[in-house]
Amino acid sequence: MNEERYILFDQYLQGELTVDEKDNFEKQLAENPELKAEFETFVEMHSQLENRFGLETERAVFEQNLTRISDKYFKKKKSKVVSMKPWYWTAAASVIIMFGLFFFQFDQNPSFKDYNKPESAYFTERGVAEETLKKAEDDFNGRRYAKAIPLFEAILKENNSPEIRYFYGISLVEESHYKKAEDVLNELISGNSVFKEKAKWYLALSKLKQRDYKACKEVLQTISQDFENYEDVEQLLEELN
């Protein structure tokens, strides 16, 4: 990942991009899986730094050490410690990790990526917007969730089946549309379809992705032991304890 991308990521997160720049960046994220993965890594690293170094004294010590080490690798001359932008923190921290010099221990909480294993969609529903349904299926299975979402929304206007809502909910979680995703998943949880327990699992993963570990644990504890992937539930609960 290069320095210019760190700056762009930080500007996006800080709301410093113009409307056109923001739209263009989001379009790139939707079309470029590699860029999206790098952005998610940046967000995760930045979040860890924010959580770990929230106290002013610890932040000052951290900045001093990062300045010293990053000067060596980024060729930046500094006569004193200055306040660093988040992208610089993350860039410097990444280099330190790469060379085995990272001397602070991050939280060892489980991550969304460790447990996110979406099943493939093979829709049994046919006859209603069949061409759109097939494209939504292909985009979902191809992990093109941003493209699948509007297709699911069009299908749901005619066919509000639990199956479509379930895969729509997963797509929303993947694209970090948490509020909308959780509304969809909670609707499935309140029903009695075969997707009830699966929806609980993805609701838990949504909380995990947001680093709301307490809420994640609470949802996990409601999942039936008959759930087909209950071993994952037990493992995640164990890591959260």
pLDDT by residue for the chain (241 residues), tens only, comes to 456 777 788 788 878 888 888 889 888 888 888 888 888 887 777 666 655 544 445 555 555 555 555 555 444 444 444 444 555 555 555 544 444 444 444 456 899 999 999 999 988 655 556 888 999 999 999 999 999 999 999 999 988 999 999 999 999 999 999 999 999 999 999 999 999 999 999 999 999 999 999 999 999 999 999 999 999 999 999 999 8
* C-alpha closest to that of 233 among 223, 96, 241: 223
Tell me the pTM: 0.59
Please check whether residue 187 is in contact with residue 203, taking contact to mean a CB–CB distance below 8 angstroms.
no
Alpha-helical (H) ranges within 32-157 are 33-52, 56-74, 86-98, 112-115, 130-141, 145-156
Rg (CA), the chain: 21
Backbone dihedral angles phi then psi of residue 54, each to the nearest 5 degrees: -75, -30
Q: What is the structure's pLDDT at 77?
A: 41
Residues 6 or more apart whose CB falls under 8 angstroms from that of 109 comprise 211, 213, 239, 240
Q: What is the structure's pLDDT at 32?
A: 86
Within the chain, all domains assigned CATH 1.25.40.10 are found at 112-240
Q: What is the structure's pLDDT at 212?
A: 93
To the question of domain 112-240 being in CATH 2.40.50.100, the answer is no
Q: What is the structure's pLDDT at 34?
A: 80
Q: What is the structure's pLDDT at 41?
A: 80
